[in-house]
Amino acid sequence: MLRALVVVVLAAVAAAPACKGSESALPAGEVGGGEPSRVPLVPKDHALYARFEGTALENACSDDAACSKGGCSGEVCASGDQPPGTCDVPEVQIPTAASCGCVSGECVWYSDGSLTLAAATRKGEAAEQAGPRCGDGTCAAGETCIEYYGIAGPRGPKFQTCGIPCPNGKCADGKKCITIADGPGPVCQ
């Protein structure tokens, strides 16, 4: 009878799950954690990085609730409610499966690493060399870095954006000169 009891106890111990160690679980989003890692979607050297990541805007965050999509095409990811953007359709679109959220203390577009963002090139043309640096990003070829104050004027923060100014009201390549009053002023779109 004792032998049968020992066999039952050993079988129960072998079938029980192993005890967890004292190590705490990794935070979500880290390798080995409960959720997939968050991989920034837009590379810092992408021609549209400043536009998609709203580098001229406040982007600090501590969680996803601080981040939101904005711009006329929903292409800007930044902190705050409905971040502003230019009202044209960018040549490259953020994939619909991408998310706007907090990664390493900054509001950015991210995925689990399975998505890629197309290079910003003109249809039928090879990729052009990037333009000048503008804030934390780089402008596309042919664009310049435009500095301006928002609706608060010089008392408010100074913003930077990439664009093609049209101070004389004329644009090339069939674009129109549009004045953005609380933005960079007259620009080609």
175, pLDDT greater than 70: yes
3-state DSSP helix/strand/coil percent for the chain, to nearest 5? 15, 25, 60
> Quick one: which of 93, 97, 96, 59 has its CA closest to 78?
59
> Quick one: which of 117, 138, 142 has its CA closest to 128?
142
110, pLDDT greater than 90: yes
* Cα–Cα distance measured from residue 90 to residue 49, given in angstroms and rounded to the nearest whole number: 12
* Cα–Cα distance measured from residue 100 to residue 168, given in angstroms and rounded to the nearest whole number: 37
* Average pLDDT rounded to a whole number, residues 11-25: 41
* Average pLDDT rounded to a whole number, residues 150-162: 86
Question: Which residues are bridge partners to 165 per DSSP?
Answer: 187
Which pTM was predicted?
A: 0.46
pLDDT digits (tens, 9 = 90+) for 39-73: 999 888 888 888 888 877 778 899 999 998 888 77
User: Could you give the C-alpha distances from 120 to 85, 90, 184, in angstroms and in order?
Assistant: 17, 9, 22
User: Could you give the C-alpha distances from 29 to 18, 111, 117, 137, 158, in angstroms and in order?
Assistant: 25, 11, 21, 25, 34
